[in-house]
Structure 1
Amino acid sequence: MPYVNIKVTDEGVTSEQKQALIAGATKLVVDVLNKSPTTTFVIIEEVNTDNWGIGFEQVTELRRQASTSPADKT
């Protein structure tokens, strides 16, 4: 009974995109592990960017910095 956990930031992932992730992850498990899709569980967790870090920073802050970067203003 495979269990796939996908974590994404909570930045407007649509229901259609989530369905595509579920279908794609299920197909991968079926194709690679030869498991039944009826017993394959896919969970999508949306994580607030304040609760997601890369390096020493929160993703919220990294996105803020990127949006105000001088390189973006050219």
Structure 2
Amino acid sequence: MDLLTIGLLSASVIVGLAGASLTALKGWNGWLELKKMELTQSLGDRGLPPATGRIEIADLRERVRKLEAIAAGIDI
């Protein structure tokens, strides 16, 4: 094999590797962006609105008071 053939072959291998690397990098960035979107959406879905959360906490406190009264033997 002559020098020109070896040079062309090595250049084509380098170009192929560069293309594959760029494609993989683009896919990786897309996957990271997808995960960021999933995280922001899941964080937005969590929790109750403030008023509903306060009402629910008040209901839970009332239930705890009733259970404590039952445990202590006091009629409500």
| TM-score under structure 2 length normalisation | 0.29
- Which entry has the higher C-alpha Rg, 1 or 2? 2
More helix by share: 2
More strand by share: 1
Which gives a bigger RCO, structure 1 or 2 (Cα 8 Å, sep 6+)?
1
| TM-score under structure 1 length normalisation | 0.30
